[in-house]
Amino acid sequence: MSVDLLETLPLPQRLALSYAPATARPATLTLLALDTRLAGVVLGGGEPMIAQIKLAWWRDRLREAPAKWPKGEPLLAALHEAVGDGSGLGALVDGWEGLLAEHPGEREWQEFATGRASLWEEVARKLGEEAQGIAGSARTWALADLALGLEPGDERTSIISVAEEAPDHHARLPRVLRPLAVLRALAGRALSDNRKALLDGPGAMLVAMRVGISGL
């Protein structure tokens, strides 16, 4: 597992990744690192036009055959090694790009959640698992994670409302998706207890440990 990529991940994702089985860690790490890179592009505070150009670059690369990918980009190299190609990840880029709209609303938030769900669907596909239950679980995490990164206000409240309506967010997930189960549980705790962050308070670590070990 690449230490360099691991260090790019936010703490909740690092914690969740620690509960992935060894066979799932390379793909999960790489896809979470891609998600984190795109998050930095969109949420980094730069000009929206520049962000769109960067996202377009990633979209174009993911549509290409890996043989055409430029050398010298460690994340692309890791994607090639751990996942094979980026053909299933266009929705992830599109979901992040939707947040660049002047006034993103429920449609953009839902597309964002769908895009982040595709990350986990790609992990499942890579490891030969069914994708059942992924969409609702990923939506809970994706939208709670987005909302908790915003300042208190109407937008944050609205995103939380959409997150709380995610279907099948208690579905049992396969062992290879244990990191998603952990993130879903942390998100559910944060929403139900009106927490400020996924890892707000010592109870978060206990939730992560319980779900990381048992899946429930």
Query: Is residue 114 within 8 Å of residue 91, measured between CB atoms?
Result: yes
Instruction: Decide if pLDDT at 1 tops 60.
Output: no
pLDDT at 172 (0 to 100): 84
Domain carrying residue 145:
22-214
Alpha carbons 65 and 40: distance in angstroms, whole number: 25
Q: What is the per-residue DSSP string for the chain?
A: --HHHHTTS-HHHHHHHTTS-TTTHHHHHHHHHHHHHHHHHHHSS--HHHHHHHHHHHHHHHHS-GGGSPTT-HHHHHHHHHTS--TT-HHHHHHHHHTTSSS--HHHHHHHHHHHHHHHHHHHHHTT---TTHHHHHHHHHHHHHHHTSPSSHHHHHHHHHHHT-TTTTPPPPGGGHHHHHHHHHHHHHHHTT-SSTT-STHHHHHHHHHHHH--
Residue 106 within a domain: yes
Residue 156 within a domain: yes
Residue 1 within a domain: no
Report pTM: 0.94
pLDDT at 45 (0 to 100): 83
- Give 81-131 pLDDT, tens digit per residue: 999 999 899 999 999 999 999 999 999 999 999 999 999 999 999 998 887
Residue 143 within a domain: yes
pLDDT at 167 (0 to 100): 67
pLDDT at 169 (0 to 100): 59
Q: What token pair was written down for 132?
A: 């059942």
Instruction: Decide if pLDDT at 72 tops 70.
Output: yes
Residue 13 within a domain: no
Q: What token pair was written down for 67?
A: 């043989």
Q: How many domains does the chain have?
A: 1
- Give 15-49 pLDDT, tens digit per residue: 999 999 999 999 999 999 999 999 999 998 889 99
Residue 71 within a domain: yes
Instruction: Decide if pLDDT at 187 tops 80.
Output: yes
Residue 3 within a domain: no
The separation between CA 126 and the C-alpha centre of its own chain, rounded to angstroms, equals: 16
Residue 178 within a domain: yes
- Give 133-176 pLDDT, tens digit per residue: 888 899 999 999 999 998 889 999 999 988 888 665 577 899 99
Q: What is the per-residue DSSP string for 112-161?
A: HHHHHHHHHHHHHHHTT---TTHHHHHHHHHHHHHHHTSPSSHHHHHHHH
